Chains A and B, each alone.
Chain A
């Protein structure tokens, strides 16, 4: 049973999504929810198995590589699957609010969302470069139509730009795969390392294409331009998934490559360069977030900034940095999903998200504002929260390796995050004469308010659950200690 769990985690949601297309709006929302619940159960079993027995591998249909496809669930994959399951569960419940009633739009949402979930699981479980290319494309092609669900006219330009960058990024990546195959004669992540490490021109080109392609997908400055409009205009549930999981998947690939096929690059100028890109993302994203006039764009630019922290792993490259970068990814995923869902509730209630016109929302939207506040603590990297533990680990790594400039980046990044978060939160407390908002929609139902709140609470709780999570992750691959 255990060795089939990876397959189930991938194909349950994929088939569920395809079937939803065929069913149309029949079976909504029971069918997709059942699939989601099964997927969560499957992932939890899988994670439990990885936690107790270590990595699990499975060759689909009994075909061995290179012809067959090999799925591999190791610690890194397990924590990412877990993050996806947690965020996915919350988003699925939340989506009952806006997408719960049978309609063509709802059909599209659930079908695409399940496809996206399956593709993400497949991406995390893939163990060869080409399979990763296919899953990356699957993720992109199911994510972009989700953006379009925000309604006609609002998001076409954003989706188009997203598509262009995503396609270009994956082709760049594929070029890297092609050269790698030429050099190594294999696509297996575990086998191509030596060929890429030989330092020749072709190897450098391959590594550059692999990294460059993934950087575009991860929206790292200066390839971030597609992210804010897409994440800032999509429906709330979709924004949450995109910011918490989809871009995270790309950064995950960077971490994965760095510790396996590209391990030879560790400690080189490339590592410092990636760190510098991360720092640039932190500063640029934070400053842009501070300048936005719309709540959702603040949150979207915050993603641009927060992804930068994960890149600080590359120059630091010790096991604390590894723990810190991955934990940051998890904490950010949970917190950011909470922020987007809470923002969605604000929009559902007020009808817009123009900051200057949001006043005194803490009473009607108490739960959502509360969720926003809790998640913000993690985003700002203040204790007690998952974000803080991650920042602590990264800071310790910076000090331990004597690279104090990254410590400064981390500290300033935290302050900048506080600046843009507080700028938003103060509107909740600001009292204005007259009614709080002009037009008030219905107060979001519990189904929409609680997922955000629970994710916010989880973001805080993650300040205390680092030890088991990092035990599951299992330390920096290849580290001696």
Chain B
């Protein structure tokens, strides 16, 4: 029993891997069976993650070692940080599965879609549970490969172009990352994730090399985290079906990059080393540029999903910013945004998908007056947008508040300016949109169609309410903020 219990991270991975295999085997004709597999897998994973969450909360750390080479092992491990990402993925996977089932109800090639979808979540779980850089890299690349078929799923030339851009960026990023990983292993003999890092003893003799490796690692991870100027693939990847965009932006790909940066800073280098090498400031500047640039570009977009995509570019860098500033409070702000941004952005993308699927709306100007016809969807969209702007007491506010406090405690007052500018820009690209949906007259003929079908609306309501709850009940121990405070307590 205890060995089985200890191997929980492996079982969590297996739930979605086995689901992927079963879905591929069931294939196109066995539609109902596939749905059963999918939902069972997602629920099972949620249950397992819940058990793990309880264990980790009580101070247990799960670890599985699979030796690969004499001095190299695949390590799956679950610490508090793992659980933050794993819980987010497990919850959102179930929700997105339900949404995708409704969204793709009559689309072709669903078996292929859901197969790769499950693989994608497997990779995300692997990234969450990876216990060393080598394992992380394996799942990081697996994620790239599993996501590509989802991006090109529609098979039209536009999605092919997007898929090519996606691979060009991510594979090149992966290659740079790999070089960094190999150098770490060559330099220190280990790439294990250890709280506080394990490279400090090398700081005196190899500081130049450490800086080079850090740049390589962050550049490789920055591609997926969409750090400017490595973000080019993200807006074009918008042509993918809405559930994929939702997953890409909220859980899987961009978060994998951001999560990787967290791991590198905290568990490979350690905050002290990063700060003493001057790398924190560098990262903070890169994140700030991304935040501002992404917001400015978002304003210029006329396509709803593209605007949301640039918003992601901007928002994900809050995570990086919080980590780069380096004080405990800023770290809390950054880490909690991993969850907050996920909940808010997935709501927004679900809504965008709902608009597109129900009324064929893609461009922002077509949104006029949609609030009256799809009140529930639009209400959730509004909540998500307010959250992004950072209206108290919503989730985005909690993030920005901690980031601001953290910046002050670290003495980096310029970060406050970045946060203020970003908030203003968020308002500039979200508020006119909200004005349109609620107060303008509709341009479309009323065709009798109203709200999105229940399969779409259910997930929208769930994530929308969850994002509000994350802000409202932030003070509770089981809220994302409460959990992140636990992580930071253990890190520092």
Contact = CB atoms under 8 A, between A and B. Distances in A.
Given A383-B137, A466-B69, A415 B175 contact: yes
Given A384-B138, A422-B164, A429-B149, A396 B186 contact: yes
Contacts of A176: none
Dominant secondary structure at the B interface: helix
Contacts of B176: 411
Interface stretch (B177-185, B312-320, B377-385, B461-469): B177-185
Contacts of B112: 362
A213 interface: no
A370 interface: yes
A467 B176 CA distance: 26
A376 B442 CA distance: 50
Contacts of A384: 138, 142
Contacts of A172: none
B154 A366 contact: no
A253 interface: no
A415 B68 contact: no
Contacts of A426: 152, 160, 163-164
Interface in A157-212: none
Nearest to B70: A467
A414 B171 CA distance: 9
Question: Could you say which of A362, A415, A429, A430 has the most chain B C-beta atoms within 10 Å of its C-beta?
Answer: A429
B182 A360 contact: no
A24 B274 CA distance: 74
B43 interface: no
B44 interface: no
Given A362-B112, A414-B175, A396 B182 contact: yes
B4 interface: no
Contacts of B172: 415
A463 B135 CA distance: 12
Contacts of B27: 366
Contact of B68 (A389, A396, A429): A389
B171 A399 contact: no
Given A363-B28, A426-B160, A426-B163, A395 B171 contact: no
B186 A400 contact: yes
Given A382-B145, A400-B186, A422-B164, A411 B66 contact: no
A8 interface: no
A392 B70 CA distance: 13
A45 to B, nearest CB: 27
A389 B155 contact: no
A396 B175 contact: no
Interface residues of B, number: 42
B473 interface: no
Given A466-B69, A470-B69, A396 B185 contact: yes
A181 to B, nearest CB: 40
Interface in B307-328: none
Interface residues on A, range: 20 to 34
B432 interface: no
A185 B451 CA distance: 91
A393 B149 CA distance: 29
B155 A360 contact: yes
Interface in A31-83: none
A383 B142 contact: yes
Interface in B79-99: none
Interface string A415-427: 1001000100010
B196 to A, nearest CB: 25
Interface in B134-192: 134, 137-138, 141-142, 144-145, 148-149, 152-157, 160, 163-164, 167, 171-172, 174-176, 178-179, 182-183, 185-186
Contacts of B141: 382-383, 388
Contacts of A383: 137-138, 141-142
Contacts of A396: 182, 185-186
A227 interface: no
B137 A464 contact: no
Interface string B108-121: 01001000000000
A431 interface: yes
Contacts of B24: 370
Given A363-B28, A411-B178, A467-B67, A399 B186 contact: yes
Which 3 residue pairs are nearest across A and B when measured between Cβ atoms? A431-B155, A383-B138, A399-B186
28 contacts: A362-B112, A382-B141, A382-B144, A383-B137, A383-B142, A384-B138, A384-B142, A389-B69, A392-B72, A392-B182, A395-B179, A396-B185, A399-B183, A399-B186, A400-B186, A411-B175, A411-B178, A418-B167, A418-B171, A422-B167, A426-B164, A429-B149, A429-B153, A430-B155, A431-B156, A464-B66, A464-B68, A467-B67
Interface of A: 360, 362-363, 366, 370, 377, 382-384, 388-389, 392-393, 395-396, 399-400, 407, 411-412, 414-415, 418, 422, 426, 429-431, 463-464, 466-467, 470
Interface of B: 24, 27-28, 66-70, 72, 74, 109, 112, 134, 137-138, 141-142, 144-145, 148-149, 152-157, 160, 163-164, 167, 171-172, 174-176, 178-179, 182-183, 185-186
